[in-house]
Chains A and B, each alone.
Chain A
């Protein structure tokens, strides 16, 4: 970890402004991801702007009948919130499938969306990695890729986005609210929030320099059976090999996003239209452009099978 200076921001706007004026600055929320990355010198900010205590930590209703989740709401509090449990069960379940109790007590909504990949080469500074060091190469391609992405990959990077929460947010049509350095606000549908790796895997979201996430909103509840199924090698405390977040209505239609297979939560409108026809055709459409490696080819089959289990559970 490099030495850094620290400030406690006085307002969201001030935080955005301070961050925009210093390319070596980072926001710190729960710190559960950022500090680990700093210890390993994968991230080397020289200045931290603490955004805790700015009042963006509330869960409240929106005018449209949905819910606004403050960026600093802790994962534990979000998962336990009455409205979330009642109307957005998928989100609560996804959160509880992630990390551990202690981590969820610290982890925040924005921090979770912005957590970085778990590609093991990304974590080893001796190894080339385009995401860590632009243009240095990708060690994973041709290496150990069991956990890596099978769809939406590029020749520069095949990493996945590891968040469980984000998969649920994607299936629930969340919108990310931000404040930019000039004080202006914008709302970004989660679909557009995370980027595919392309030639620039080090740029992971559409956030601009200094832009602060202030909240995530969810549209009015859509009902249905809400299921989060996380598949992993051990029963807890492991990232998903594949996860499926789904809202399935009684007529068989629904919304479905898949985690563990791409650089962002994976949801495809044409695939979703196949839901009433079952898991196979839905999965085929979701993974039509898949380019798996020898080691992670099983994810193709696993997505289909997991989706099958989810649809069976939804019918039951």
Chain B
């Protein structure tokens, strides 16, 4: 299916199943522990053994020699495979740092060996016996230093690194009110609950692999490249995933090590990455340094807006696109954005939930708050004054649908925004209380997505697509889509995901999964409807699918009967034509937060949060709310505690476990409220839905930062806003 015209009325608009608060169809499996995650596949007849990785002990350099004799002799050991054994390999298309092979060390904890033994404990103990001699080289680990030699890449994910409209410098200088500040965001870790884990089983040249992957086809292709086997020989499955947040978008070392380990040991091998590896072996969200400049008239109308960002990565890597949203979010005739990439020898920087916008909004939306204060205009009003209905860099491109203003107004009303006082003016006992706001913004991305839908003689609809459910609710919204399209109750739908034998879907990433994968299912259902109508001799245009029957004129046939003993199937791929060129598709929202800051210790604790989201049709308010609430929680961590501490001398992230890298715990999260605007966007897809999962994160941390400022009068521009950055500005309590 080519989606090349805005959607008109279609069966989804019936909203009998889609849009309804349907509980997760896989919820019971998960709550009862029967949903099998990668490491948990266990066939009692299969003699699984265990692989344990060895990571580089240096940040940069070469392996001079390796001594695995002690490891090989350790009890239970079946095989030891080293990076030198497998030698230089081709690297997967989506990997910046190599995952395994060769003598070069590009970052700390890069895999240098895998030890396979009969038990996990034996493998781990033997892994500690591997001796490696390194030749260490000097690396770059400090972004503040490295930014001085940062380069301008040719393009950033298909977009230019720089944009300029009008005369930014002139307008900035000429404006009656202007503001210029620099912000920093730290390196962050996905820290999903389930570690990266894989089971590899060879049968001759054929490899079966259970893993935890957000993108089945990307993993399969890159695994084939890395192992140098034919892609068709690899069967990869990832039906349940315990969180990913972008950390499982790209092939990781667990799959590669399991495959090499299994080959060497001639046994099925399980490999899970230990928690510290998740930080220094896999990817992370890179730190940024961002400069934001805003100039305006006294009325609040922005005349110039500029955003520059610096981040680092390994050679050949990519930058964090933190200035991207500033090209689209606010009006202003004179504009500039620029993004630069420095070389750092830390582990690979890559996508983490809402790459670009998450850290970009952390800076931009504090700057908007600071500028509003300078103008003495309420920050909600300041944002409304500068709303735009067109792409401000290309005014001929309207937004397909943009309702930021309603999000801000409704949120302000519901949250009691008018109670907000001057900075440091409200106190309850030992708590300084403040309110903060920020806009939410994230683009709506469109990726091809395919599915296959079958109808059997019992009237059961089975959907197969390699789409993944990373905890988001994909199983459920796909079942809802098929049920709606085929006119059956959801109980009649079976959804099978995460298997490379199924048609290639959008996968889970960039908040495109829900809209794109359900559209792929929609397209396949259209094909199946046609097949059914054709078989029955109905005109597919006027065939109605309802109550488990297909009806045309006064003839109606139960679907089970229509299927016949052979059953019927439909398969299709949605391709996205040029609609996004003429119309900018984005999602919008507003975050409101109330914080308390302890007047003595500077500890900041969240008291209330509200997100208002305008993201097209909400396919399921339960799963959508869960995405937003989770994103808001992630935003709390990012505002208050999450920071990978870089040892700039030794070149690694020091706090590489969940004790040192502090994500929020239950006690940190108070009442959270989410409101969805009742809207549809026909430009986005026949589902008229857009992404929501990343929108919920974009802006939250800035709203918290702004609330802390409102509570204390202390402005912190370096995330996370820990107490040490506040206490110097708090009143004397001794």
State the A residues within 8 Å of B (CB).
Answer: 1-3, 39, 41, 118, 120-121, 123-127, 139, 142-144, 146, 229, 231-239, 241, 278-280, 283, 298, 301-302, 304-309, 312
Contacts and interface: CB of A to CB of B under 8 A. Distances in A.
14 contacts: A41-B128, A124-B276, A139-B647, A231-B603, A236-B665, A237-B667, A280-B734, A298-B727, A298-B728, A301-B728, A302-B601, A305-B727, A306-B600, A312-B600
A116 to B, nearest CB: 13
B660 interface: yes
The 10 closest A-B pairs by CB, nearest first: A309-B600, A298-B724, A308-B734, A235-B667, A126-B57, A236-B667, A279-B734, A308-B733, A144-B654, A144-B645
B529 to A, nearest CB: 52
B641 A234 contact: yes
A123 B657 CA distance: 10
Given A123-B657, A305-B733, A312-B733, A233 B727 contact: no
B734 A236 contact: no
B91 interface: no
A107 to B, nearest CB: 15
Contacts of A241: 723
Given A143-B654, A309-B600, 5 more contacts: A144-B646, A144-B647, A234-B662, A234-B664, A309-B733
A235 B668 contact: yes
A292 to B, nearest CB: 11
A2 B75 CA distance: 11
A288 B71 CA distance: 51
B722 interface: yes
B659 interface: yes
B600 A144 contact: no
B124 interface: yes
Interface in B687-734: 720, 722-724, 727-728, 730, 733-734
Interface in B627-660: 640-641, 645-647, 649-650, 654-657, 659-660
Interface string B610-631: 0000000000000000000000
Contacts of B125: 1-3
Interface of B: 57, 75, 121, 124-125, 128, 276, 430, 598-603, 605, 640-641, 645-647, 649-650, 654-657, 659-660, 662, 664-668, 720, 722-724, 727-728, 730, 733-734
Nearest to B663: A234
Please report whether the interface of chain A is mostly helix, strand, loop or mixed according to DSSP. Answer: loop
A234 B667 contact: yes
Given A39-B124, A123-B657, A142 B649 contact: yes
A278 B734 contact: yes
Max count, chain A CB within 10 A of own CB: residue among B598, B646, B660, B730:
B660
A138 to B, nearest CB: 12
Contact of B727 (A2, A124, A144, A301): A301
A309 B430 contact: yes
A120 B658 CA distance: 11
B734 A304 contact: yes
Max count, chain A CB within 10 A of own CB: residue among B57, B600, B668:
B600
B722 A233 contact: yes
Contacts of B659: 118, 239
B640 A233 contact: yes
A112 B387 CA distance: 57
Given A146-B645, A235-B668, A306 B601 contact: yes
Contacts of A127: 650
A307 B640 CA distance: 23
A305 B601 contact: yes
B640 A234 contact: yes
Contacts of A121: 654
A234 B723 contact: no
A125 to B, nearest CB: 8
Contacts of B602: 302, 305
A279 B732 CA distance: 11
A146 B121 CA distance: 33
Nearest to B601: A231
B553 to A, nearest CB: 65
A3 B57 CA distance: 24
